[in-house]
Amino acid sequence: MQYCMVVMTWQRVSMEKLIKKLRADYPDLVFKPGLACCWSPEYGEILYENSGKAHSIEGLLHELGHARLEHKGYVSDLELLQKEVDAWEEAKRLANMYDVPFSEDHMQDCLDTYRDWIYKRSTCPQCLSTGIQKDEHHYHCLNCSHIWGVTASRFRRPYRRSKNKGLIRPLF
Which of 9, 108 has the CB closer to Zn ion?
Answer: 108
Instruction: Please give the single-letter amino acid code of residue 75.
Output: V
Please give the C-alpha separations between residue 36 and each of 59, 74, 95, 124, 147, in angstroms, as whole numbers: 9, 21, 19, 33, 35
Separation CA 154–CA 172 (nearest Å): 7
Is residue 80 within 8 Å of residue 155, measured between CB atoms?
Answer: yes
Site residues for Zn ion per CB under 5 A: 84, 87, 124, 126-127, 129, 141, 143-144, 146
Q: How far is the CB of 73 from Zn ion (least distance, A)?
A: 12
Which of 146, 161 has the CB closer to Zn ion?
Answer: 146
Q: How far is the CB of 74 from Zn ion (least distance, A)?
A: 11
Q: How far is the CB of 143 from Zn ion (least distance, A)?
A: 5
Which of 15, 62 has the CB closer to Zn ion?
Answer: 62
